[in-house]
């Protein structure tokens, strides 16, 4: 009995030890609740209580063992208010302005430290920030600009990939526009040419194709503010760089555009025709010589550009009409029962040529556009020929039926006569 009791005790302590062994590293992972939080949470002033409460919910730093004192200084285990924030504790208070950058960069620019938590994460954000408009303004003493915490939050920071993070792809525009769409906040800031900085970028962006791709098609590869303006080094691209920036995704168009005279002439390259924030779905109507077309803004009757625009648009319309015509023939033949699978594929190829022509057009040279369109027209011509052939076959069959109808009627007449003769 004594031995069984002993073995039971041993077993219990063994289990307990194992549990503690597992518990110990877990405690090292998430930071324990600090005395700071115990006091601040109970405060009636929301400026004091809210950060403590937020930090207790979801926070990337807290989940990895960081607590209030890592950013604010102070003594985490001292319940007394004065002693916890004594100068000897390194208490920093609420960081503001340049101090915010310094506090964050203390860890985030430390390669050896970051390697322990997120080896692939970059450590040059602070340096990048210094090159941004926000960073440059801050250096001049302007505290109205965004710092790390304005975009990432301070207490309750989430990973960028967390859908509730203010810097998650779909939320970036909302975060930027917290300041940039606020006319009161943006008062006094000017563009290089002296006109006031606009605050309608978000409204315009929401009408754009890129926004539609993000919001409606869930295509997270579509650009939002930071894709063109940069993340930490945020600044407008600068007119010379626009084609490069757009070209990071729209590479084929950028290559073609670089071949054209327009690339030397347009101040704002792509933006001249496509706008920067309110980028609408392009249509063939933008190209050409009629009044809706953009070409007529600069080109007038008689000049080379006007002729080229007319030629390219005319060619595209011609191919579109040819495709529509082919489709009608193929539909008629298919409905009559002819097999038109190959022709349907060829029409699809012809449509591809339309897409290619619209790409080629960005070099603003009618010749390569025309080559592509001619290839497309060759395809539709063949489809038309095949379609007409199929319809002719349908006619041929009906003629055959008509002949056999004649033969049948002949037999009917002959039978009638035979019966009469009996």
Partner 1 sequence: MTEQVLSWLDERLDLSGLRAFIAEKSVPKHRHSVWYYMGGITLFLVGVQVATGILLLLYYRPSAAEAYESVQFIVSQVQFGWLIRNVHSWSANLLILMAFVHLFSTFFLRAYRKPRELTWLTGVLLLFIMMGFGFSGYLLPWNELAFFATKVGTGIAGAVPVVGDFMVRFLRGGDEVTGATLTRFYGIHVAILPAITTVLLGLHLLLIQRQGMSVPPSVEKREKAGEKIPQEPFFPNYVLHDVMWWYVALAALAALALFLPWELGKKADAFAPVPAGIRPEWYFLAMFQTLKLIPSHIFGLEGEMLGVMGFNVAAVLLLLVPFIDRRAADGAPSRILTAAGILAVIYMIVFTIYGYLAA
Partner 2 sequence: MSSPHPPGPPQESRRTFLDSLLGVGFVSTALSVLYPVWRFVIPPANAEPATDSIIAGKVSEFKPNTGAVLKFGTKPAILIRTTDGDFRAFTAVCTHLECTVQYKPETSQIWCACHNGLYDLAGNVVSGPPPRPLESFAVNLRGEPGQEDVVISRT
**Sites of contact with partner 1 (CB under 8 A):** 334-339, 397-398, 401-402, 404-405, 408-409, 411-412, 415-416, 418-419, 422
383 contributes a contact to partner 2 by CB under 8 A:
no
411 contributes a contact to partner 2 by CB under 8 A:
yes
Q: Give min distance, CB of 168 to partner 2, in A.
A: 18
Q: Which of 249, 332, 375, 394 binds partner 2 (CB under 8 A)?
A: 249
Q: Give min distance, CB of 217 to partner 1, in A.
A: 21
Q: Which of 92, 122, 158, 351 binds partner 2 (CB under 8 A)?
A: 351
Q: What are the strands, taking DSSP E only, across 313-358?
A: none
Residue 267: name the closest of 204, 201, 207, 192 by CA: 192
Residue 173: name the closest of 121, 105, 223 by CA: 223
Residue 208: name the closest of 267, 281, 317 by CA: 281
Q: What is the pattern of x (binds partner 2, CB under 8 A) and - over residues 310-349?
A: -------------------------------xx-xx--xx
How far is the C-alpha of 56 from the C-alpha of 64, rounded, in Å? 13
How far is the C-alpha of 55 from the C-alpha of 30, rounded, in Å? 12
404 contributes a contact to partner 2 by CB under 8 A:
yes
316 and 358 in contact (C-beta within 8 Å)?
Answer: yes
Residue 131: name the closest of 139, 143, 123 by CA: 139
Between 285 and 408, whose beta carbon lies closer to partner 1?
Answer: 408
Partner whose binding site includes residue 402, from partner 1, partner 2, none (CB under 5 to 8 Å by kind):
partner 1
| Residue 193 burial by Cβ neighbours in a 10 Å radius (0-12, 13-18, 19+) | exposed
Partner whose binding site includes residue 185, from partner 1, partner 2, none (CB under 5 to 8 Å by kind):
none
Helix or strand or coil: residue 234?
coil
CB atoms within 10 A of CB 224: 21
271 and 242 in contact (C-beta within 8 Å)?
Answer: yes
Identify the residue whose tokens are 């040529």: 353
Between 16 and 345, whose beta carbon lies closer to partner 2?
Answer: 345
Between 238 and 337, whose beta carbon lies closer to partner 1?
Answer: 337
Between 297 and 421, whose beta carbon lies closer to partner 2?
Answer: 421
Q: Which residues bind partner 2 (CB under 8 A)?
A: 213, 217, 219, 221, 249-253, 341-342, 344-345, 348-349, 351-352, 355-356, 359, 404, 407-408, 410-411, 414-415, 417-418, 421-422
């Amino acid at each position: 009995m004594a031995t069984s009791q002993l073995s039971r005790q041993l077993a219990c302590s063994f289990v307990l030890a194992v549990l503690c062994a597992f518990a110990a590293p877990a405690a090292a992972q998430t930071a324990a609740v600090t005395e700071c939080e115990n006091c601040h949470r109970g405060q009636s002033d929301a400026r004091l209580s809210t950060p403590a409460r937020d930090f207790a919910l979801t926070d990337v730093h807290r989940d990895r063992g960081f607590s209030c004192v890592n950013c604010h200084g102070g003594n985490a285990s001292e319940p007394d208010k004065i002693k916890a924030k004594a100068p000897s504790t390194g208490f920093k208070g609420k960081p503001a302005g340049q101090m915010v950058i310094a506090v964050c960069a203390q860890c985030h620019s430390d390669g050896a430290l970051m390697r322990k938590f997120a080896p692939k994460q970059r450590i040059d954000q602070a340096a990048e920030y210094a090159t941004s408009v926000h960073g440059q303004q801050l250096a001049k003493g302007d505290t109205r600009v965004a710092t790390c915490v304005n975009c990432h939050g301070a207490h309750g920071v989430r990973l960028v990939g967390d859908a509730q993070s203010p810097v998650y792809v779909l939320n970036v525009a909302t975060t930027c526009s917290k300041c940039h769409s606020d006319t009161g906040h943006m008062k006094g800031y000017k563009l290089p040419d002296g006109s006031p900085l606009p605050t309608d970028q978000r409204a315009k962006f929401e009408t754009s194709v890129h926004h539609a791709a993000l919001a409606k098609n869930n295509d997270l590869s579509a650009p939002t503010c930071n894709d063109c303006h940069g993340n930490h080094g945020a600044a407008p691209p600068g007119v010379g760089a626009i084609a490069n920036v757009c070209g990071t995704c729209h590479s084929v168009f950028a290559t073609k555009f670089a071949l054209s005279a327009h690339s030397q002439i347009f101040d704002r390259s792509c933006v001249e025709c496509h706008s920067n924030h309110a980028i609408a779905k392009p249509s063939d109507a933008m190209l050409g010589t009629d009044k809706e077309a953009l070409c007529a803004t600069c080109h007038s009757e008689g000049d080379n550009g006007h002729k080229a625009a007319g030629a390219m648009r005319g060619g595209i319309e011609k191919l579109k009409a040819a495709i529509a015509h082919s489709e009608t023939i193929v539909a008629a033949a298919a409905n009559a029962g002819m097999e038109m699978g190959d022709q349907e594929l060829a029409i699809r190829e012809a449509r591809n040529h339309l897409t290619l022509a619209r790409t080629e057009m960005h070099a603003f040279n009618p010749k390569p556009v025309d080559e592509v369109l001619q290839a497309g027209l060759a395809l539709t011509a063949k489809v038309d020929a095949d379609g007409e052939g199929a319809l002719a076959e349908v006619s041929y069959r009906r003629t055959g039926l008509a002949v056999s109808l004649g033969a049948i009627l002949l037999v009917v007449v002959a039978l009638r006569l035979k019966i009469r003769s009996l």
